[in-house]
Structures are given as structure tokens and as C-alpha cells.
Amino acid sequence: MKRFGVLCAVVALTGWLNVGHSVGAQQTWTGSIGDSRCGTDHGGEVDERECTLRCVSTGDKFVLATDYGKKIWPIVNQDFAGLKEHAGHTVRVTGEQQGDAIVISKIEMPQR
């Protein structure tokens, strides 16, 4: 019975360590850089880049919209260098997921 308890503790600890390790792992997402007010729906008659930059300049936050705008990911590091440059563009983002948000480490245009 004592061995069974030790075995359970080892299995539980191993599972906990694996979960903790995967949380901080680098991942890649492809989507559009939008803003927290509009997401990627800017009304159709407005330039997506201009709308995103205008909304961010008035206090909204940059987001990454994936799955054709169905999933909106808040971006933790709003001061990341490439966000303004790629506002309104489809990009490939590499970073770490923190809860329902992303900490970006790299942003680039997808290869065609």
C-alpha cells in the first residue's frame, strides 16, 4: 500500500511538471493584428490598418484575431516593436500563451 501511495505521488508530480512546462512553450499563430474595439471587423468601408491604429491611439489595445476573427487573443506586450508596423495585416506570431493572452516574441509576414 505504501508503494502505491509513492507511485501515485510520482505520477501526479510528473503530470504537474509536464503541464507547467507546456504553458511557457513557444507557439505560433497566424491571424490579423486588430484592436480590442473592432477586432478585425472595421465596417468594410474603412482601411483596416488606419482603423486599428486610430482605435489604439484612443486607448484600445492591439489583439491577434485568428480563425477568421472567431478567436480574439489579447496581446500582453502592447509595446512590441512590430505591432504598429503590422496593424491590419495578416501575420505569423510566435510567443507564449499566458491564460487567454499572448506574449509576443516574434512577428512576421507569412510566406507565400
Q: Which amino acid is at 11?
A: V
The residue type found at 80 is: F
In a 13 Å sphere around the CA of 77, the CA atoms on its Cβ side amount to 16
pLDDT tens-digit map of 53-109? 999 999 999 999 999 889 999 999 999 999 999 999 999 999 999 999 999 999 999
Domain ranges of the chain: 26-108
Q: Which three cell numbers stand for residue 63?
A: 489583439
For the entire predicted model, the pTM comes to 0.75
Q: Which CATH class is domain 26-108?
A: mainly beta
Q: Is the pLDDT of residue 13 over 80?
A: no
Q: CA quadruple 24, 28, 31, 35: dihedral positive or negative?
A: positive
Please provide residue 54's backbone torsions phi and psi, each rounded to the nearest 5 degrees: -65, -45
CB 25 within 8 A of CB 95: no
